[in-house]
Structures are given as C-alpha cells and as structure tokens.
Structure 1
Amino acid sequence: MGAGTEPDGSSRSDEEWERFLRESMAGASDAPKEPSARAREVAKRLRDEPGRGAEGWRTHTPARPKRRTGWYAAGLLAALVLLVVTFAPGRVVDLFAGDGPDSPPSAAETARPTKAPPAEAALRPTKDEPFRGSPAEGWASGAAGITVPEARAVGWMSAAEVEQALARSRDFLVASGVESGVLRGERPENAIALINPQQKDMQALLSTAFQSPSEKNDPLLLFSRFQPSRTHLVGDVVKTRGRLEYREGERGALQVTADVTFVYPVTRAGGDDDEIVRTIVRRELVLSWDDPDKVLTAPGTFSMISYKSHMTNAGCGATTGYFDPPFGSDRQADAAGTEIDPYDRTAPVGQGGSAGDECGKATRS
C-alpha cells in the first residue's frame, strides 16, 4: 500500500495532505499549550506576593476535616455514666440528691446501707414543708418506703404464698405505724388482726397495753400513737425507709425480718407558734409465718419472734402509751438519753450506737 492511499485503495488530494501536515506541526487541538507571555507574567507576580508561599496560581489545598473530638468525648462520658448507674445506683442518687422539694427521691433500700445519709442544710421545717432540712425529705411515704423482695418458695410455702406473706408483713407495718386513726390514738385493730391469736405472750401485752400501759406492756413498742389533746401531726404524710428480708426459720416456717424507720412531723396542740418537731422511730421486728400443721396458729397470721425499737423526740418521761414530743425549753430537758443519729441505718437496732428499746437523744432531726 503506497503513501496517501486509503484502506480501500483511494488516494488523498494534495489539499488534504497539506491540511494534515499543518495540524501535525501545530499539535492536536486538545494538547496542552505553552502559556502566553502575559500568563507567565501573572503567574510570576502571584508567586512573588507575600503569604502565597510556593503555591501555584492554579493550585488548591483542600481544608482538613475537623476532628470530632466533642462527639467522642460525649460518647465516652455517657458510657462511664451508664456503668456507674448500672453498678452503683446508690452513689448516683447520693450525688444528685438535693435539699429542695423537687429533688429526686432516694433509691429504694434493698440491703443494709454502708453509710448514714449525708448531712443536710440546717433548714427549719414549715407546715408546708415539714420534712425540710432532713434526709426524710427525699424518702418515700407509707408503704412505698418499705422495700419488699422478690418471692421464692421457702419451707412449707410456695412462691405465691411467700409473696402473700410478705405483703401482709408490710401491711402490719403500715397498720401499726402509718394508719391515721392509729396515729391519733385509736386501737390498731387491723394490725392486731395479723398477730397469731394463739401466741400467749403477745396476747397478754395486747390485753393490757392500751388500758394500763407500763414499761413492760407499752403499746409504743409496736404501734405509733400520739395523744390528740397534746400533739397534732403536720399533714397526713409519714415518711418511711426500710426493707423486708426473709429466710427459712424453725420447722420450715417463713421468717421475715422488718427494719423500718418512720418520721412524724408534729406540732404542739393548741400552740400559737410554728415550732415543728420530728419524732423518729425505728423498729426491727422478726415475724414467723408458721406451718399450721406444726404450730398452733390462725390462717393468715404470724407469730412475733422479737421486736426492738429506738425513738427520738418521742418523750422520755413516764409511760403513757403515747409519744410525747418535747417542745421549746422541754427539748433541752428531754435530751438526756444516748446520742444517736436517727437516720443512720448502717447497724442493727441496739448496735453501732443505736439505742435499743430506749429513748435516745437525736443528733439531728
């Protein structure tokens, strides 16, 4: 095949060869061209300008992406908080608990605490805020403040029967220490109905305690009572904190231990001042729900194995069957008992400085 011949044998004209040669010498249309003299002058001036450095006039350095350290830090902090809440919820509550009425409530007590509640600001209670300035301000009230554990089968009782017995044990605590009529001095019929009528020593106490109270047969050992002619409760809320625990007792019985603190804000009946005193009572009871096939008992009742208590701001005079909170100058004369922190629940009643079955002087109320 000769030069200038197409694949089909045809030949190119002289004009076509001349155009081909011109385009070959000029270069392809899309080939890079050398910058003009003006372009070279502009590029030189831009390079020589201060702050431009060695960057070319058509170069571009993209901005580095910002590190999202804020998100990473927030995520790490959230993970740490979640771990603390999971494994130490009580510490979180202690950390954020405050003195105001809008403070979050204390976490339920599921085991004996390892430390007493922290000191509160010395704020005087008022009729609108009778628990102001005390740990009880963040406690639950009534039955809600008494923790009942999950039920399982024990001894002669199935899990369902244990659950019912635990509920009735808490009912006794509410009927004896929270029920409004009982607090005003009425006979605690609902609470008494839960005590085994065949338990002779308890029946002896109950038969005489309300008619002829004495140190041995004092209704205050089990029931909270105020004399309306001397003392009025402030509001209708009783703050409580405590728990129930249980295990298998003798002869396969369900043995329930109750440890509960009750806080009662009261004022002097007929008084013209606004002085409010908080009577604080802690009771530790051991109840036995016996197998009726082995122990003489009535269905739905328990036998009282033991009871202990300590009371502060409750009066330390003669036994009357009623709490007798001291007001004004009487508070100094009444403060002769053993000093105790009535909110410290770290030791059983009667141990660790807590007075058992006696009147005590409160280090705070």
Structure 2
Amino acid sequence: MSGGTEPDGSSKSDEEWEQFLRESVAGAADAPKEPSARARAVTRRLREQPDTAPAGWRTYTPARPRRRTGWYAVGLLASLVLLVVALAPGWVTDLFAGADSPPQAAETARPADAPPTQAARRPTEDEPFRGSPAARWANGAAGISVPKAEAVGGTGAAEVERALDRSRDFLVASSLDRGVLRGEHPEKAIALINPHQKDVQDLLRTAFRSPSEKNDPLLLFSRFQPSRVDLVGEVVKTRGRLTYEEGERGALQVTADVTFVYPVTRAGAGGDGEDSGDGEIVRTIVRRELVLSWDDPDKVRTEPGTFSIVSYKYDMTNGGCGTPTGYFDPPFGTGRATDGDGARIDPYDRSTPVGRSESTADECGRATRS
C-alpha cells in the first residue's frame, strides 16, 4: 500500500519527498527573491524619468580638461615687456620717472658713467623735467649731498660742520635763490665771501656793472633777465656733493661740485609754436665746481663766517653764447639749432671733471641732450 498520492494520482518516492523538503527550507537556486528597498527606489525613479539615466553611486566621471588660453596670453605679454626693456631701456625708465617717482639716491662720490639716455619727450609746464635724467633728481638744496663732519688737521668736527653748512648756504644763495635767479643782486651770497680777497672783490665790483668775459657774474651766480625769460614752476633740480680736506696754512678746504637744471620759457610766451619759441620750454643746465677756503684768521686776513675762493669753474649749456650780459640767455625756436660752437657736452655726465673755467670761458659748448 502506498503512503500517499499526487493530485494526478502519481506517487513520490521517499528520496524525492525528502529532497523537496530540504529545498523548501533552504530555498531553491532559481526561486524568486523579494527586491530590496534601494532597488525599489531606483525602479520607481526610472519609471518617473524614463529618459534620464542616473549615475551609478560608485561610478567615476573624469573632469573636463581646462583651457589654458589665459596663461598663454599672460606669457606672451610678459615676453613683449621684456623685449621692450631690452631694446629701449631709456624709454621705460622715463615712462616711470614722472613727478611721483622717488628721487635718485644722493651722490656721495663721482659716478663712473653718464646717466642713461631717456626717451625723446618734450617738457611741459606741468612736467618741465620730462625726458631728462633730472626728473629723478632732488629739488633745490636737497640735491646737494653734505658728508659727515669729522675733525681734520687743526679744525674740529664742529667747525667742519659749520663750514659745510655755510658752503651749502652759498650755493643756495648764489644759484637757487628765486630773487637772484630773476636778476636781483646776490647780497646774501656776497656776504659770505671774504671781503679782503682783492681779486674776487674786483670781479664783484665790475661784473654787475660792466659784464665781460673776465668779469662775468655768471662765473659765480645764476641769473636770468626777467624781461626776456620766465622760470617754469618753482623747482630747480640739483645733483652734486661737497667734500673737504685740510687746506694751506691750517685752512679747511671745501670743494663743491653741483649741477643745476633750470627750466625756462620766453617771457610772456603764449601758445606752443616751436619755430617762434612761444611756449617752448628750454632747460639751461649749469655745473659748477667751487673750491672754498675757510681760513685760519690767525694766519690769513679774513672775517668770521666768510671764506676765500680758491677757484671756480663751470660748464653751461642752453645758456647763450653771445656777448656777456650778466644773464643766461637761453635760445628758443630756431635759435637753438645754431647755439653753441664749441665741443659737444653731455650736461648730465658727472663722471668727468668740470671743463669750463675762467681760463676757457671763450668756448661755448653744445648740449648733446637737455
């Protein structure tokens, strides 16, 4: 007798029945499984957005390559700037050497070379030193470097300091004083000169009354005739220095080597016609070398607070080359082309000694630049 029957009346063996029970408990390999909550969420999203394929949660999308056009442009611009600096360093220097540029460091010794050539830029009323090395020079007395005072020979440090200060005072009174520049008598400057020095006193007595090659006030003083010339602005650019050493008979000897740059225009000028000189700005440039002796009153006849002049030299360009009148006479317009028949001079080159003196005053040099 059988132990049981199938619906169709077929029977199962004991081995088949036992296998069926094991698979029911463990689950068949091809039995359907309940989907997880994540799988149901993904299925639902696909149904709602059938045209959008979501990125897998473990997938990787490479970043888009960045375009480097900006860096290439910066590199090209830098290359162009370097090329301009290499080919035209003077133009670059002049471009940044405007009114707001810091002044050049003070001169403490004779330079080895002339300053570099600037770009050819015409001066203006607002920038009368444009296109000139003087654009970075100091203003007025600030451009005259004074060394530290120390005792020398029989002169103490305090006396040396006083002599240096008064030597600079003479340069200010003779070549920077606004009244003197406009033609006034240089009384303050003359008061510092030893009144017992006969040759210099003879020069002073005749120079202002009857100027000549030998007795010309321009040998010691800077003056312009106000009826012919107007100063441009209130600034005179200067560069130079004082030095000192022991002189003869116990004196202290001070040497001044200073360049003065005076921007001027024709008196009452209006407009900017280059041929006529109206509105044209010319820079008269004067480099002076003075050797002053602060004498020992026990050995030399002098007065307290005064010095004797040992020598005076000067180079001048754009100051006129005609018969001495006691004033600088800058050339304007077409006159500039014929002014100066002597050697060509770079008025900004301070690397060589001053060449003009009382013995060579008949030469009138032409400036290579102004």
Give TM-score scaled by structure 1 length: 0.72
Give the aligned partner of residue 361 of structure 1. Answer: 366
Instruction: Quote the Cα distance in structure 1 between the aligned partners of 2:366 and 2:205.
Output: 31
Give the aligned partner of residue 192 of structure 2. Answer: 194
Give the aligned partner of residue 315 of structure 1. Answer: 320
Give the aligned partner of residue 83 of structure 1. Answer: none
User: In structure 2, the residue corresponding to 1:329 is in which secondary structure?
Assistant: helix
Residues 253-295 of structure 1 show CA distances to partners (whole Å, capped at 9, x for unaligned) of 1001100000000000122232000000000010000000111
Any conservation in 2 of the 1:97–1:106 contact (CA below 8 Å)? no
Instruction: Quote the Cα distance in structure 2 between the aligned partners of 1:148 and 1:159.
Output: 14
Partner of residue 307 from structure 2, selected from 298, 302, 306: 302
User: In structure 2, the residue corresponding to 1:191 is in which secondary structure?
Assistant: helix
TM-aligned CA deviation for residue 337 of structure 1: 2.4
Aligned length: 272
* Amino acid of the structure 1 residue aligned with 2:323: A
Any conservation in 2 of the 1:196–1:303 contact (CA below 8 Å)? yes
Q: Following superposition of structure 1 onto structure 2, how do residues 234-249 of structure 1 map, counting pairs within 5 Å? A: 234-249=232-247
Give the aligned partner of residue 33 of structure 1. Answer: none
Higher Cα Rg: structure 1 or 2? 2
Q: Following superposition of structure 1 onto structure 2, how do residues 282-301 of structure 1 map, counting pairs within 5 Å? A: 282-301=287-306
User: In structure 1, the residue corresponding to 2:224 is in which secondary structure?
Assistant: coil
Give TM-score scaled by structure 2 length: 0.71
Where in structure 1 are there 5+ consecutive unaligned residues?
A: 1-93
Any conservation in 1 of the 2:94–2:118 contact (CA below 8 Å)? no
Closer/same/farther in 2, CA of residues 171 and 356 from structure 1, 3 Å limit: farther
Give the aligned partner of residue 86 of structure 2. Answer: none
User: In structure 1, the residue corresponding to 2:344 is in which secondary structure?
Assistant: strand
Q: CA RMSD in A?
A: 2.1
User: In structure 2, the residue corresponding to 1:359 is in which secondary structure?
Assistant: coil
* Amino acid of the structure 2 residue aligned with 1:280: I
Give the aligned partner of residue 324 of structure 1. Answer: 329
Partner of residue 204 from structure 1, selected from 202, 205, 209: 202
Closer/same/farther in 2, CA of residues 97 and 271 from structure 1, 3 Å limit: closer
Instruction: Quote the Cα distance in structure 2 between the aligned partners of 1:204 and 1:300.
Output: 20
Determine what percentage of the aligned residue pairs are the same residue: 75
Instruction: Quote the Cα distance in structure 2 between the aligned partners of 1:330 and 1:362.
Output: 14
Instruction: Quote the Cα distance in structure 2 between the aligned partners of 1:204 and 1:274.
Output: 39
Any conservation in 1 of the 2:340–2:364 contact (CA below 8 Å)? no
Give the aligned partner of residue 147 of structure 1. Answer: 145
* Amino acid of the structure 2 residue aligned with 1:277: V
Give the aligned partner of residue 44 of structure 2. Answer: none
Give the aligned partner of residue 251 of structure 1. Answer: 249
Any conservation in 1 of the 2:94–2:131 contact (CA below 8 Å)? no
Instruction: Quote the Cα distance in structure 2 between the aligned partners of 1:215 and 1:122.
Output: 34
Give the aligned partner of residue 340 of structure 2. Answer: 335
Any conservation in 1 of the 2:211–2:325 contact (CA below 8 Å)? yes
Give the aligned partner of residue 345 of structure 1. Answer: 350
* Amino acid of the structure 2 residue aligned with 1:297: T
Q: Following superposition of structure 1 onto structure 2, how do residues 66-105 of structure 1 map, counting pairs within 5 Å? A: 98-105=96-103
Residues 85-132 of structure 1 show CA distances to partners (whole Å, capped at 9, x for unaligned) of xxxxxxxxx989933222221110000000111111111100011011
TM-aligned CA deviation for residue 153 of structure 1: 0.9
Partner of residue 132 from structure 1, selected from 127, 130, 133: 130
Any conservation in 2 of the 1:156–1:291 contact (CA below 8 Å)? no
Give the aligned partner of residue 164 of structure 1. Answer: 162
Instruction: Quote the Cα distance in structure 1 between the aligned partners of 2:128 and 2:323.
Output: 27
